[in-house]
Amino acid sequence: MIGQTNLLKKLDSYNVDNFPRSLLLVGEEGSGKRVVINYIRDNIIHFPLVEITSNLSEQYINQIYLTPNPHIYLIDLTQLTEKEQNILLKLLEEPLNGAFIALIADSKASVLPTIINRCSIFEMDNYTPDELIQFIPEGYEQELILSIFRTPGQILNNNISTIGALCDLCDNIINKIHLANYPNVLAIGSKINYKDDYDKFSVTLFLDTLASKLYKTYINSSDIKYFNMYMLTITERKKLLDKRLNKGIFIQNYLNQLWQVSRSARCN
């Protein structure tokens, strides 16, 4: 697995007898967490892997305790609410004989401390530019792609053919949002994909691209306006960890704040 040499070396130091019964694998979106869990299944534990994220309930967990055959139970914490995460505590406090609990999350900040305290933590390594280049198709501007994406999954799972148009949109926002009226600012939200519109930009990709360009603009200009806009963007980006978030309302509120920051900074 490209880019995860240190993590795989650590995992290979275990065998089925001493591997942690409950593990939490943390890594940014698209870093390959599920690939690592499959590696654990195939090379260390050799038990069937069953994902139970969508079935999680107290009743289902009680059924697991009645299952005679050993399994690896995979749960994606990024898809769970705080209440649903609490349901897991019984499974972590009273491990099943012969069974393993594999939890994955984009960030420890999105995981309940009570879960973290009951798991062995493994973290995905950061990818270097040389490693990420191997995932960029020929014909695309590598420097631009690397300035936006940090994991292979982000490159492979996004429509990178739209990056040029997205960059143009972000440049227009940076240069002109302080001049726009409020309705035009909110109209930017119509270009964002909230469901399955392939011809629009994902919320995370939009924010990551805009943050990258705002930071570069600030470095080149030393204008505090762009720094404030950048800090707002990366702060708001963290809210996307909450899967209950209404992304349409979130983007409207974010654009409103960005507009106000750009105008107030300009006036100062």
pLDDT tens for 84-120 read 899 998 889 887 887 899 999 999 988 999 999 999 9
pLDDT at 153 over 80: yes
- 28-57 pLDDT, tens digit per residue, is 999 999 999 999 999 999 999 999 998 888
Which CATH class for the 5-123 domain?
A: alpha beta
Strand partners, 123: 26
- Report whether pLDDT(194) > 80: no
pTM, two decimal places:
0.80
Chain segment 220-238, per-residue pLDDT in tens = 999 999 999 999 999 998 8
pLDDT at 20: 94
Q: Predicted confidence band at 158 (pLDDT cuts at 50, 70, 90)?
A: confident
What 3 state SS string does the chain have? CCCCHHHHHHHCCCCCCCCCCEEEEECCCCCCHHHHHHHHHHHHHCCCEEECHHHCCHHHHHHHCCCCCCCEEEEEHHHCCHHHHHHCHHHHHCCCCCCEEEEEECCHHHCCHHHHCCCEEEECCCCCHHHHHCCCCCCCCHHHHHHHCCCHHHHHHCCHHHHHHHHHHHHHHHHHHHHCCHHHHHHHHHHEECCCCCCCEEHHHHHHHHHHHHHHHHHHHCCHHHHHHHHHHHHHHHHHHCCCCCHHHHHHHHHHHHHHHHHHHHHC
End-to-end CA distance of the chain: 51
> What is the share, in percent, of the chain residues with pLDDT greater than 70?
96
For residues 65 and 161, is the Cβ–Cβ distance under 8 A? no
Query: Above 50 in pLDDT, residue 175?
Result: yes
Percentage of the chain exceeding pLDDT 90: 61
pLDDT category at 268 given cuts 50, 70, 90 is very low
pLDDT-derived band of residue 265, with 50, 70 and 90 as boundaries?
Answer: low
Query: Cβ distance 54 to 229 under 8 Å?
Result: no
Backbone angles phi and psi of 25, in degrees to 5? -100, 120
* Confidence class for position 197, pLDDT limits 50, 70, 90: low
Q: Where are the domains of the chain?
A: 5-123, 158-267
Are 230 and 214 contacting, i.e. CB atoms less than 8 angstroms apart?
yes
* CA–CA dist 25, 190 (Å, integer): 35
